[in-house]
Homo-oligomer: A and B are copies of this chain.
């Protein structure tokens, strides 16, 4: 299967939390001493044209714009030196987060699973083959809501860079083609409401927009 169709066949979405210093600070958290990992299931993916749906019980849904690294080769216990060979391409992602459900989970020592992994929690842009990205650690990232700029950062500010993330993650989880690593978000995260338009960009490479909707129950 072609890697550009990662949304259809990818089996793992690995999120990295607090990977930008100013975002960790705005969350009143410290930068961790090793990558902080969480999972979203593949049912979290949506592509442009599909709405972001506020999950049940969430009253504070946040945008987090992130560089997505798409794995191109299977590997386990990958060294930092060889790690970039496992990258097949990149995309732009929104790590949509039910902040209120996440805060409740944190307080109670419970998994972040619902807060991070609900359906539509991972809007993604088009696939960029790695040859089209000269330096993944020097890309402007931005996110606006209804035309108002909320996040403006650069992948230059990642705490743990891509080779470190791939090496660390693959020491626990075999990486497979189509897996996506969400590399963390710069400062400026904030709430969205039903009806809002969330627009995000990665340098001049990707620009994408998604509408926020109330989740309608078919039950």
Binding site for B on A (CB under 8 A): 11-12, 14, 17, 36-39, 41-43, 55-56, 76-79, 105-107, 109-114, 116-119, 171-174, 176, 217-219
Contacts and interface: CB of A to CB of B under 8 A. Distances in A.
A142 to B, nearest CB: 27
- Classify the interface of chain A: helix, strand, loop or mixed: loop
A173 B117 contact: yes
Given A39-B39, A43-B173, A173-B41, A119 B11 contact: no
A173 B118 CA distance: 5
B43 A11 contact: yes
Contacts of A11: 11, 41-43
Given A77-B217, A218-B77, A43 B119 contact: no
Contacts of A171: 56, 217, 219
Contacts of A174: 43, 119
A172 B117 CA distance: 8
